[in-house]
Amino acid sequence: MPTWKHADVFPIIDRIIRQACADEADGSYISRQRIADRLLQDREARTIIENAHEGQADQTLGWIARNMVDFFSKAFNESPQKDKFDRIRIEDNWAYKLRD
């Protein structure tokens, strides 16, 4: 049974990628791990992650955050974000940056 909803998390991931790209300002791609780390630092996302953890106590908060990014990546080609971000594979995980 899902413990979080794509509709709740994907807009947060979108915002986090945008913020990370603005922070970097050098055009670098934002990795899965960096997105997950920022999810854990984001107040709204952290609440969702902690609530999800109650239903998945056998998983770490970091695992749940990375899992959220993985689902974002899986749904990317059918999402509105596909026209907003470029992505590449880095170490077998997707990384994102704002499209020029």
Is residue 54 classed exposed, middle or buried when 0-12, 13-18 and 19+ CB atoms within 10 A define those classes? exposed
pTM of structure: 0.93
Q: What is the mean pLDDT of residues 8-26?
A: 93
Tokens 């709204």 found at: 44
Res 16: pLDDT: 97
Query: If pLDDT is split at 50, 70 and 90, which confidence band does 2 have?
Result: low
User: In this predicted model, what pLDDT tens digit does every residue of 31-58 receive, in sequence order?
Assistant: 999 999 999 999 999 999 999 999 888 9
